Each structure stands twice: as C-alpha cells, then as structure tokens.
Amino acid sequence: MRESPDIARIAALVADPARCSMLLALMDGRALTATELAGLAGITKQTASSHLAKLVDSEVLRMEAQGRHRYFQLGGPHVAALLEALMVFSSDSVPPLRTGPKDFALRRARVCYDHLAGEMGVALHDRMRGGGWLSDDLTVTGKGWAHLAAIGLTPAELPRSNRPLCRSCLDWSQRRHHLAGLVGKMILDHILALSWARRLPASRVIAFTPDGERRFLDWLR
Amino acid sequence: MRESPDIARIAALVADPARCSMLLALMDGRALTATELAGLAGITKQTASSHLAKLVDSEVLRMEAQGRHRYFQLGGPHVAALLEALMVFSSDSVPPLRTGPKDFALRRARVCYDHLAGEMGVALHDRMRGGGWLSDDLTVTGKGWAHLAAIGLTPAELPRSNRPLCRSCLDWSQRRHHLAGLVGKMILDHILALSWARRLPASRVIAFTPDGERRFLDWLR
DNA sequence: GCAATGGTTCGATTAAGATCGAACCATGAG
DNA sequence: CTCATGGTTCGATCTTAATCGAACCATTGC
C-alpha cells in the first residue's frame, strides 16, 4: 500500500483538465512556451505557471529556459506511453466519434512522441517482430540490421542516449503495439529524411506520399 | 482538443490513493470482494462502496455479484497496461496478498457443488476458453466436443436437467473463473470415473493421483 | 535607463470530492 | 422467523487544490 501514493500522485498530475490539455499538446514532442500552453488550456498564465511547476517537479515535463522564454516538453517516452494508455479508454467508450479526413489521417500514421504510430507504426512493429528483425527481448537481430541497412540505416545512425533501443508502445487507435525507443525514432527520422512522408504543420499527422508509402510497404515485404 | 476531459476523468479515477491501492491489489487478475478491498485500502466499507461504484461506472472495474458478495476485478488488459505505464515513473514492487484456504490440497483441487474448482478447475476453464473449446456465449464448440471425445465424453453422457450446460463460476481460492454447469459436472464425474482422482472423505478435496494429474494436464495441452 | 513582455509569487475565494457515522437493504444460516 | 453479515445510501464535515487579481522579478529592445 505504501507504493500507491506514488503512482496516485502521478495520475493526479494528469487528472486535471488544464494539465491534461497541455500534455496532449506536447504529445508530438515539440517544446512550447508557458504562455502558449496557457492559451491552449484556456487558463491564465499564473495558473499555468503553477501547473507547469508541478509537472516539472515530478519530471513529467522537462523545462529549458532560453532568454525570457521557458520551453516545456514531455519528460520522456514513458510520459507519451502513459497518455496513450489513457487514450485507449476514450477510444473505447466513444467509438462513433466524428471521423473526418483528418481523423482518418491520424489513424493511418502519426507521430507518438518521436516515433511512428497508427496503422503504419503497427505494421512496422508487426513486421519486425514477425519477420525476426527483433528478438523476443526486443533487441535488433542481425537479420534486422540487414533489413535496416537496405534503406541506409546502420547502428552509427542511432542517436546517443541511454534510452532503450526498442520498446513496445500501445497504440490507442489500433489497440496494438507499435515500435518506440531509439530505433523507432531513427526509423521515423529516416522516413522523413527520405521524403517518404512529411509532418503536417500543427498536427501529429504523418502524411506519406503515394510513392513513399509504396516504398515503405515494399521494404516491409 | 476535445478529448482531454475524458482522459483526465480516467486519470482522476486512478489519482485517489484509496482507489489506487484497490486497483493495484487487483493487478494479478483475481477478483476481490468489496470489504477485502476496503481493508486493503485502509478505508471503511462505505467509502470503498463509493469508490468502487465510480470505477465500475467508468468500466475500469468489472463487478460480479455472487450471493451476498460482490467480486471486483480489472475491466480488462488496458487497465493493467495503464497501471503499468504509471509504475514506470516509480518502480516499486507490489507484494501479492494471500487469501483463501490455508490447506494446500483444497486450493489445488476441490469440488464446488458438483464441479471442479481450485487451480485445476481454473486451468480447465482457461484452456477451454482460450483454446476455442467454448465460444464466447459459453456453448461447447465442435472443437470442444472433439477434445471431450478424446477422453470418452459425448453429448449423450450429459445428465438430463434444465440447468445450463456451461457456467462460469467464480473460484474463491483462485479468485478467477472455473467451469460450472452440466458440462462441468460431467467432466468432474468422468475424472473420478477414470480414477484420475478421488474425493477425500468428509472433505471437499479432490485428490489427483500423480498419474491422473499427468493425464489431465496432458489432455489440456 | 525605461518601457514592454514573459513568467512567478502571494493571498483570497471557491468548488470538488474523500471520509465516516448512522440508517437501511439484501442475502444466507439456523 | 430471527439474527448476523456484506454492501449501499444519505448527510455532514473537512481537506485539497484549482483559479485569478495584484504585485513582483527577469530579460530583451530601444
């Protein structure tokens, strides 16, 4: 029972609507300033300041001061994972939500923190697990590296960080896992660098070009 | 973002220390009664009742009434996933609670009215549900009858009664479901008839012979 | 130096909800 | 039927924390 206050404390940080809005606005991995976040959440800057201080204090957010601005971003992939885990409930309880073209695009491919999510993200994950590119303990196999090399990715391209190489992240729209971790980030970065897809501004949508989508799916074949 | 209130609402359900304790106690998939959960959380039963109602209302928990007891268990794997995502922030281990009979044999296998309960009963139930021997509405499938035929059971062996063929019965030592109903009775009777096990006198214990246990578990494989 | 802008601190107000005592309903045992 | 037990409902109390106005601090641009 002694451990419950800790996890309850974290949950309480997400439980406030204002803080929740801010966290969701940061889901794409960008860094926003305090006043921007206040505006998005519909609260004054005093209130936002109080909220942000709590979030930074618990390492749910990271803060970086630049001049007279303070930029806030998610504390790490585990924060995004938590938010996605919560979204599973919403997508479950209200299934017939308005499904416009933008909603469709989001389900198709989007960024989750810094890696690929949605149908395309799940397809990638499934192929890597099913095709033996990843072992059971989520390390990239020799076969996996061979396939990655086919599109120009080598271990040298990995960002330097102590984050785990691969993680499974639950996808709220697909309700299945997609690939997170450094390898997930590396692959998404590469997809963008190859111009197979581009990020739509002010949204989490990853828009594949027809040709890029064909090449991506071919690569998974 | 219109979805923020919804996900904040779910987070708020986990944000209370008392509710959190209860949820963590249910992480292993067992079902516990309201008073047990109240005791674990260190609150009175009135308070617990209020908490549990909210959790059931939001489908975070599922409730099953049996006699004057109400058994609560997690609403699904996504609830466990959410709790795990929260635990990433503070890695503590949750010591499991020991409940139920102290008698090992009783916990292993016993008769519940006229069918098999305890670890062996739960194993049977899990295998029949998970292996497609039973459909979702608890009728025996063709595959199920094929497996039953392998040990000599056919629909002709069914006792005549208007009782339902299959029922899920909550196991009080395992806190999970075992198989009740006419099929449950038929299987237990057959296990005794094959001398895979025998009833201990003046007790509810079902004592498997070493050979019988091996055959039974082989059949479930 | 001085205004303008981004952000924080403080204090008072207010709303939400966790808690428990007491009374009540439902079920099972004898 | 009667009693004991598991669980809920109601009402009152009390704690927590979200919110904003006002004042204050910090940085940049002029």
ipTM: 0.65
Q: Residue B114: CB partners within 8 Å, gap ≥ 6?
A: B184, B185, B188
Q: Gap from B47 CA to D10 C1', in Å?
A: 13
Q: Which pLDDT score, from 0 to 100, does residue A96 have?
A: 41
Q: In degrees to the nearest 10, what's the CA dihedral of A200, A204, A207, A212?
A: 120
pLDDT digits (tens, 9 = 90+) for A125-182: 889 988 889 887 778 888 999 999 999 888 887 766 656 666 666 565 664 677 887 8
Q: Which pLDDT score, from 0 to 100, does residue B103 have?
A: 63
Q: Which pLDDT score, from 0 to 100, does residue B119 have?
A: 87
Going by the DSSP 8-state scheme, the letter that residue A217 receives in this structure is H
Higher per-residue pLDDT: B135 or A136: B135
Chain D nucleotides close to protein (CB under 7 A) are 5-10, 17-23, 26-28
Nucleic strand D under 7 Å from the C-beta of B50: yes
Q: Which pLDDT score, from 0 to 100, does residue B124 have?
A: 92
Mean of pLDDT values over A104-117:
82
Q: Which pLDDT score, from 0 to 100, does residue A102 have?
A: 59
Q: Which residues make beta-bridge pairs with A105?
A: none
Give the confidence band of A57 by pLDDT, cuts at 50, 70, 90.
very high
- Among candidates A92, A110, A90, A111, which has minimal Cα distance to A102? A110
Mean of pLDDT values over A69-94:
82
Mean of pLDDT values over A44-65:
92
Whole-angstrom Cα distance, residue B181 to residue B164? 6
User: Nearest CA to CA, how far is A153 from chain B (Å)?
Assistant: 30
Number of DSSP helices (H) and strands (E) in chain B, helices first: 10, 9
Q: Which pLDDT score, from 0 to 100, does residue B89 have?
A: 80
Domains of chain B, CATH where assigned: 4-87 (1.10.10.10), 104-220 (no CATH)
Q: Which pLDDT score, from 0 to 100, does residue A97 have?
A: 40
Higher per-residue pLDDT: B21 or B168: B21
Residue B20 at interface with chain A, using a CB cutoff of 8 Å: yes
pLDDT digits (tens, 9 = 90+) for B57-109: 999 999 988 778 898 989 887 888 898 789 878 653 333 344 444 467 778 88
Please determine, for residue B1, whether its predicted confidence score (pLDDT) is greater than 50. no
Question: What does the longest C-alpha to C-alpha distance in chain A come to?
Answer: 54
Q: Which pLDDT score, from 0 to 100, does residue A38 have?
A: 93
Q: Which pLDDT score, from 0 to 100, does residue B93 have?
A: 32
Nucleic strand C under 7 Å from the C-beta of A68: yes
Please determine, for residue A94, whether its predicted confidence score (pLDDT) is greater than 70. no
- For A3, the closest chain B residue by CA position comes to B92
Q: Gap from A73 CA to D25 C1', in Å?
A: 24
Q: Which pLDDT score, from 0 to 100, does residue A66 have?
A: 72
Give the confidence band of A216 by pLDDT, cuts at 50, 70, 90.
very high
Whole-angstrom Cα distance, residue A96 to residue A91? 9
Q: Residue A163: CB partners within 8 Å, gap ≥ 6?
A: A76, A77, A181, A182
Which residue in the set B1, B17, B94 is minimally distant from A25, CB to CB?
B1
Note the Cα A116 to chain centre separation in Å. Answer: 7
Please determine, for residue B22, whether its predicted confidence score (pLDDT) is greater than 60. yes
Q: In degrees to the nearest 10, what's the CA dihedral of A13, A14, A15, A17?
A: 110
- For A58, the closest chain B residue by CA position comes to B89
Q: Which pLDDT score, from 0 to 100, does residue A114 have?
A: 78
Q: Which residues of A touch B21 (CB under 8 A)?
A: 1, 4
Q: Which pLDDT score, from 0 to 100, does residue B69 have?
A: 84
Higher per-residue pLDDT: B147 or B107: B147
Q: Which pLDDT score, from 0 to 100, does residue B52 have?
A: 96
Mean of pLDDT values over A192-211:
87
pLDDT digits (tens, 9 = 90+) for B149-195: 999 888 887 766 555 666 667 676 676 778 877 888 889 989 999 99
Averaged pLDDT of chain A: 82
Give the confidence band of B5 by pLDDT, cuts at 50, 70, 90.
low
Q: Which pLDDT score, from 0 to 100, does residue B165 have?
A: 67
Q: Which pLDDT score, from 0 to 100, does residue A129 have?
A: 86
User: Nearest CA to CA, how far is B173 from chain A (Å)?
Assistant: 22
Q: Which pLDDT score, from 0 to 100, does residue B97 have?
A: 40
Q: Which pLDDT score, from 0 to 100, does residue A173 have?
A: 64
